[in-house]
Amino acid sequence: MRISTKAMHEGRLFHPEGAHTPPIFQTGTFSFKSLKEAIDVFKGKKIGFAYTRVGRGNPNFLMAEETIAGLESAQDALIFSSGMAAINTTVQNVAAGGGHIVCGRTLYGCSEVLFSKILPRLGLEFSFIDARYPENVMKAVKKNTKAIFLETPTNPTLELADIKAISDIAKERKILVIVDNSFASPYNQRPLELGADIVIHSATKYLNGHGDIISGVVCASKYFLREKDNSLEEWRTNQGPVPSPFDCWLLLRGLLTFGQRMETHNNNALKLARFLEQQSAVKKVIYPGLKSHPQHELAKKQMTGGFGGMISFELNGGRKETRKFLEKLIKNSFIGLAVSLGYAETLIECPAVMTHASIPRNERLQKNITDNLIRLSVGIEDYQDIEESFKEALDSLK
């Protein structure tokens, strides 16, 4: 099956009464038909459901997990209450007991705070590198290195990491490669096919696509997720970061239109990026699908479905011009000034004062997160309406 069809049909369990739409299993606990069945489930001899936080959790979990695993070409997947819960649980599991993780230098703001401030208090070590250059990985690896954590494209600067090249290096040293694939989505990029070991998503974003849930997912081998001693499922059970059955149901519903949404996100973003490049008020446009992107050839190689719905750009000027543009845009158009991304609606934000505000300015500037950098999540509205909204706001800067 092609990916759009997989998103619609893979992993769906149909109710014995014949309900075409999967029901919501809004329950905390499950009854057993016999004591033997209960014993077999708790001993792991039989796959079943006991309590929505424990083990397999809930049929709504299972449906979402199997569908997303299929999209990522993964053996299995594990659903979480948020993308950050998925990242935190995975990284702690991999590096527990003083392990070291090599990270790309540019990350989502909350991931950066987690890695630089919170997890080091628990004894985990992190090194931050410019992951655009695979040789930097080799230089950062230590004896206790357990994993390499990458965002590609990065948030918000849209830098790329060569997943295959870095995975080849990691495999020689028996180090895991973890990729946060939230920006690209499995429609455009499937890291496991390029050699990565673990893929993480904020399912809040493109997978759901409607902005009505918070969820995360980890895609990997069955061994890592469920079978090994100290498995990720065991950590989820005992740490408790599970989603609600209703959120999983909404995620599954959102996936029905995943292929169609991603195709429109891709097309609208490429056209808008080309439009922005031609505007005198715009200093620079960063989009992997543009020939001007310094890693465009790598993007063509590993982003096989398209270049995604995320654009970053800088305006000529500074904070004053950035504020004027944003105020004009949100006042006179349907475009929302908001964090998050991957929604059906177009959203815009200024990382320096929003998603990455917790990072000191000098550190931000070293990562090219300037005061006039704008991050744009291009929606699936009619393209002409999006372009006209931007043209009016940009013209106000002339």
Catalytic residue ranges: 53, 108, 180, 205
DSSP string, 100-142: EEEEES---HHHHHIIIIIGGGGT-EEEEE-TTSTHHHHHH--
DSSP string, 174-196: T-EEEEE-TTT-TTT--GGGGT-
Q: Give yes or no for a contact between 122 and 175, defined as CB atoms under 8 angstroms apart.
A: no
SS3 286: strand
d(CA 154, CA 160): 7
Residue 337: phi, psi to the nearest 5?
-85, 100
- Tokens representing 112 are 């950066």
- Facing residues of 285 across strands? 313
Closest Cα partner for 329 from 376, 285, 284, 370?
376
> Could you give the C-alpha distances from 130 to 87, 154, 299, in angstroms and in order?
20, 11, 17
Tell me the residue type at 319.
R
Full DSSP string of 44-107: TSS---SBTTSTT--HHHHHHHHHHHHHTT-SEEEEESSHHHHHHHHHHHHHTTT-EEEEES--
